């Protein structure tokens, strides 16, 4: 999710709201919409946070943090900004009608689609809001622009909108967390003979597999013919058997790390955000998850491109690991592709571009039209390098004009658009267009944005250690391999269970790291309470990501030698600065106030939810899961901790033993193949937006559903002294529905 914009009510009367938005539109130079009624797109369409009209003359760019969309006239070489139009909260998806007259915007935090009409050359007005599902995110138009498909991430549906009437004509139930959309184009005037492909963001467990295995999950793509608007099949994108990067041990095999890196590692595709069609194939970039220990930067996360054969709707078997191509280059200044987020293809050639959200580059691929096999291209001016075109900070979307002359890249953190000239060899950045204002220096918003930059980057560019010296770069990971967002997309969970040094650990969403009722009070980090400050992230940067880190010695450059989990407090040590701000302090601010909890699609007034809340309270579940953060755990001291607080490297008093530890499970092992932490219990996880995980709950992902969590009698009776008051399956079903309703709008239970 994006940084939180200033609070704005979404309940204003529609007429007053539209009038207010129209009054705020900033009108600049003009571009005229096409008058050709038969205007259509020349190729397949896909969802992006920016969009072009069919003739490539009008560009619309979403600004999620500011609740606006910016329009540019890009019909000539002197691109001009036309207008900045307020929408609703968190606009992410954008679609422009083929003729440029109307633009649709998916407002993720407002459950609506804004319809913006170009009322005169260069003048825009919000015409109406269309109610859709919960957290609409991606959207794409059919080739002739008659239907708009919208992925509703939290309600697990796709809304189909008739663009003539701007009404929802069908809601399609799909799998969990639909995100990216791509729509075929057969070249005729009929939009009812196309196919829609929808990615599901997080991979799902394969039956018979265990959380923590490198091949435990598959990525999923739903296939929907526009003729029926019914899911006909769900294509499975298979794990990559070998990433070509080897580990020096095998935690699940109980083989501790040794001197030889000889153990093959695999990876399954995860974080399926973008999808694009070329010929008979659909291409999906993803962050590959390789969770089996031991942890090391180059055997933990990968950058994959999976290929779906559109004829059979099955994996084409030609998955490419982008990191392999980078590792093979001879040039020592390599930058790995991290968090491959968006993809687009040129129209006249089998050439595509992938945006690396964490490494701030585009990489160029070509594909074999017969097999779909992708290949990473080298720089024609320097064959020792993979071609990487620099972008702004945190690129999240890319579109290419119909003549393959320009590519436009939306950069989320730097709030701008990189314009790339595709006619040069190699391709080069032509200019940068400002899409939204940056916050003023030393403001709270500037600190949040600096924290978002660090959270999302695999590189890191910091202030010079002293005047006149160059900036410090590349400290967040080794060769740009990892970022916080590689495991915490949107600041949330990647749904993976990692075999960590402490044991199997399901990634925790960070929207509840801080207790909102206690100012800066925070919950102990990790399932085993092994950290007490956000600044302890320094250990992850150094030990897992392979970076030099941000905490430095007195010279302002050398990594500080005494960084520990509890003492000395990490926040008290000297840090690199970013825009004059202490880097890790800015990151902590982002985690505290910049990450939004997912919005539940379940109504708080549903009778079963009301009954489930009463049952939850009667069973005293709030003993562990009460309060504003829906967890009892809290760091109850100002670091460093006093004597006796830390036992076995854990804040022992914050752990609860409720029968969820099992030392016989396959994945109950540390990364070094030794016995895991857990016998003393775990930090009670926050229940805030717990519904957002597609499955795999508890510390080791051992419960496939919330109902399975409640089937543990010791767990469900822990609040009533061992007396089981929830033996009735009907009662448990009501509690599960209540749990699935919990989000930031829910009233906490004291």
Are residues 127 and 173 part of one domain?
Answer: yes
Q: What is the CATH number of the domain that holds 33?
A: 2.130.10.10
Phi, psi torsion values for 321, nearest 5 degrees:
-95, 110
Which pLDDT value is given to residue 10?
Answer: 35
Contact between residue 624 and residue 631 where contact means Cβ atoms under 8 Å apart: yes
Report whether pLDDT(24) > 60.
no
Which pLDDT value is given to residue 519?
Answer: 59
Q: Which of 177, 197, 222 is the last residue of a domain?
A: 177
> What are the tens digits of pLDDT across the range 228-257?
999 999 999 999 999 999 999 999 999 999
Are residues 461 and 543 part of one domain?
Answer: yes
> What are the tens digits of pLDDT across the range 631-657?
999 999 999 999 999 999 999 999 999
Q: Which of 558, 593, 628 is the last residue of a domain?
A: 593
Note the pTM of the prediction, 2 decimals: 0.94
pLDDT class of 662 with cuts at 50, 70, 90: confident
In this structure, what token pair is assigned to residue 259? Answer: 């001197």
Give the span between the Cα atoms of 303 and 322, in whole angstroms. 5
Lowest-confidence range among 11-20, 493-502, 717-726?
11-20
Q: Which of 550, 570, 593 is the last residue of a domain?
A: 593
In a domain, 289, yes or no: no
Are residues 507 and 628 part of one domain?
Answer: no
Report whether pLDDT(37) > 60.
no
Residue 542 CA from chain centroid, whole number: 23
Which pLDDT value is given to residue 552?
Answer: 96
pLDDT class of 417 with cuts at 50, 70, 90: very high
In a domain, 571, yes or no: yes
Give the span between the Cα atoms of 291 and 270, in whole angstroms. 12
Report whether pLDDT(412) > 70.
yes
Report whether pLDDT(4) > 70.
no
User: pLDDT exceeding 70 applies to what percent of the chain?
Assistant: 94
Which pLDDT value is given to residue 38?
Answer: 65
Which DSSP category does 686 fall into?
Answer: P
Assign 3-state DSSP to the chain and report helix, strand, coil percentages, each to 5. Answer: 15, 30, 50
In a domain, 239, yes or no: no
Give the span between the Cα atoms of 127 and 141, in whole angstroms. 18
The domain tally of the chain equals 3
Which pLDDT value is given to residue 682?
Answer: 97
Are residues 574 and 470 part of one domain?
Answer: yes
In a domain, 364, yes or no: no
Are residues 735 and 712 part of one domain?
Answer: yes
Are residues 164 and 107 part of one domain?
Answer: yes
Contact between residue 24 and residue 8 where contact means Cβ atoms under 8 Å apart: no
In a domain, 371, yes or no: no
pLDDT class of 515 with cuts at 50, 70, 90: confident
The helix (run of H) or strand (run of E) holding residue 590 is helix 583-593
The helix (run of H) or strand (run of E) holding residue 307 is strand 301-309
Domain that holds residue 91: 1-177
Give the span between the Cα atoms of 534 and 514, in whole angstroms. 10
Mean pLDDT over all residues of the chain?
93
User: How many C-beta neighbours within 10 Å does residue 258 have?
Assistant: 11
Which pLDDT value is given to residue 33?
Answer: 42
Are residues 491 and 531 part of one domain?
Answer: yes
In this structure, what token pair is assigned to residue 632? Answer: 């009892």
Are residues 675 and 546 part of one domain?
Answer: no
Q: Is there a cis peptide before residue 612, judged by omega within 30 degrees of 0? A: no
> What are the tens digits of pLDDT across the range 275-316?
999 999 999 999 999 999 998 989 999 999 999 999 999 999
Which pLDDT value is given to residue 34?
Answer: 41
In a domain, 348, yes or no: no
Are residues 621 and 580 part of one domain?
Answer: no
Report whether pLDDT(516) > 80.
no
In the chain the first and final C-alpha atoms are separated, in Å, by: 27
In a domain, 164, yes or no: yes
Are residues 628 and 514 part of one domain?
Answer: no
Q: What is the CATH number of the domain that holds 627?
A: 1.10.760
Residue 377 CA from chain centroid, whole number: 26
Which pLDDT value is given to residue 663?
Answer: 84
Which pLDDT value is given to residue 279?
Answer: 97
In a domain, 576, yes or no: yes
Are residues 647 and 576 part of one domain?
Answer: no
In this structure, what token pair is assigned to residue 479? Answer: 């060769």
Report whether pLDDT(28) > 90.
no
Give the span between the Cα atoms of 253 and 293, in whole angstroms. 10
pLDDT class of 120 with cuts at 50, 70, 90: very high
> Which of 512, 522, 510 minimizes the C-alpha distance to 744?
512
Give the span between the Cα atoms of 361 and 353, in whole angstroms. 10
Are residues 552 and 449 part of one domain?
Answer: yes
> Which of 510, 452, 512 minimizes the C-alpha distance to 483?
452
């Amino acid at each position: 999710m994006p940084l939180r914009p200033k609070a704005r009510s979404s309940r204003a009367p529609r007429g007053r709201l539209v009038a207010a938005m129209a009054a705020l539109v900033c009108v600049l130079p003009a571009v005229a919409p096409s008058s050709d009624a038969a205007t259509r797109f020349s190729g397949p369409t896909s969802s992006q946070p920016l969009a072009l009209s069919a003739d490539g003359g009008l560009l619309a760019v979403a600004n999620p943090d500011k609740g606006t969309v910016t329009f540019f006239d890009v019909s000539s070489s002197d691109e001009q900004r036309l207008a900045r139009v307020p929408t609703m909260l968190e606009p992410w998806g954008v679609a422009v009608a083929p003729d440029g007259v109307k633009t649709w915007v998916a407002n993720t935090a407002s459950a609506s689609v804004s319809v913006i009409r170009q009322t005169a050359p260069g003048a825009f007005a919000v015409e109406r809001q269309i109610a859709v599902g919960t957290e609409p995110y991606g959207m794409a138009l059919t080739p002739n622009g008659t239907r708009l498909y919208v992925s509703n991430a939290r309600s697990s549906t796709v809304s189909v909108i008739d663009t003539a009437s701007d009404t929802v004509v069908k809601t399609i139930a799909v799998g969990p967390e639909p995100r990216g959309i791509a729509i075929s184009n057969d070249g005729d005037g009929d939009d009812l003979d196309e196919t829609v492909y929808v990615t599901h963001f997080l991979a799902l467990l394969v039956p018979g597999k265990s959380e923590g295995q490198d091949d435990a999950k598959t990525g999923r793509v739903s296939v929907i013919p526009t003729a029926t608007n019914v899911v006909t099949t769900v294509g499975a994108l298979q794990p990559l058997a070998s990433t070509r990067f080897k580990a020096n041990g095998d935690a699940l095999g109980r083989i501790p790390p040794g001197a030889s890196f000889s153990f093959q590692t695999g990876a399954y595709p995860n974080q399926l955000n973008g999808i694009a069609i070329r010929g008979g194939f659909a291409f999906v970039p993803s962050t590959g998850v390789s969770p089996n220990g031991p942890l090391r930067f180059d055997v933990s996360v990968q950058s994959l491109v999976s290929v779906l054969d559109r004829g059979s709707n099955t994996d084409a078997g030609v998955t490419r690991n982008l990191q392999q191509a980078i590792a093979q280059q001879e040039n020592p200044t390599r930058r790995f592709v991290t968090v491959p987020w968006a993809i687009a293809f040129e129209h006249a050639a089998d050439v595509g571009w992938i945006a690396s959200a964490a490494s701030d580059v585009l990489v160029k691929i070509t594909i074999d039209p017969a097999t779909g096999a992708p290949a990473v291209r080298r720089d024609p001016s320097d064959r020792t390098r993979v071609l990487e075109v620099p972008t702004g900070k945190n690129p999240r979307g890319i579109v290419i004009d119909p003549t393959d002359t320009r590519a436009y890249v939306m950069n989320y953190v730097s709030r701008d658009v990189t314009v790339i000239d595709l006619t040069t060899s190699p391709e080069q950045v032509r200019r940068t267009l400002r899409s939204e204002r940056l916050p003023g220096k030393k403001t709270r918003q500037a600190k949040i944005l600096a924290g978002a930059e660090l959270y999302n980057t695999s590189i890191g560019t910091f202030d010079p250690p002293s005047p006149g010296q160059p900036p410090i770069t590349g400290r967040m990971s080794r060769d740009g391999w990892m970022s916080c967002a590689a495991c915490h997309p949107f600041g949330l969970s990647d749904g993976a269970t990692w075999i960590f040094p402490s044991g199997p650990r399901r990634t925790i969403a960070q929207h509840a790291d801080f207790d909102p009722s206690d100012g800066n009070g925070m919950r102990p980090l990790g399932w085993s309470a092994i950290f007490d400050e956000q600044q302890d992230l320094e250990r992850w940067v150094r030990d897992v990501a392979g970076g030099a880190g941000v905490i430095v010695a007195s010279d302002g450059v050398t990594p500080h030698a005494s960084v520990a989990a509890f003492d000395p407090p990490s926040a008290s040590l000297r840090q690199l600065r970013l825009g004059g701000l202490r880097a890790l302090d800015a990151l902590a601010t982002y985690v505290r106030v910049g990450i939004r909890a997912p919005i539940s699609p379940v109504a708080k007034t549903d009778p079963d939810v009301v009954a489930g809340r009463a049952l939850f309270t009667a069973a005293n579940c709030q003993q562990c899961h009460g309060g504003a953060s829906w967890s009892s755990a809290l760091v109850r001291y100002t670091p460093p901790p006093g004597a006796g607080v830390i036992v076995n490297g854990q804040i022992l008093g914050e752990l609860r033993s409720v029968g969820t530890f099992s030392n016989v499970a396959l994945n109950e092992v540390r990364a070094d193949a030794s016995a895991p932490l857990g016998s003393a219990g775990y930090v009670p996880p926050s229940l805030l937006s717990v519904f957002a995980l597609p499955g795999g709950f508890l510390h080791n992902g051992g419960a496939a559903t919330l109902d399975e969590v409640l089937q543990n009698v010791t767990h469900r009776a822990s609040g009533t002294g061992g007396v089981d008051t929830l033996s009735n399956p009907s009662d448990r079903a009501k509690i599960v529905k209540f749990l699935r309703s919990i989000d930031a709008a829910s009233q906490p239970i004291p």
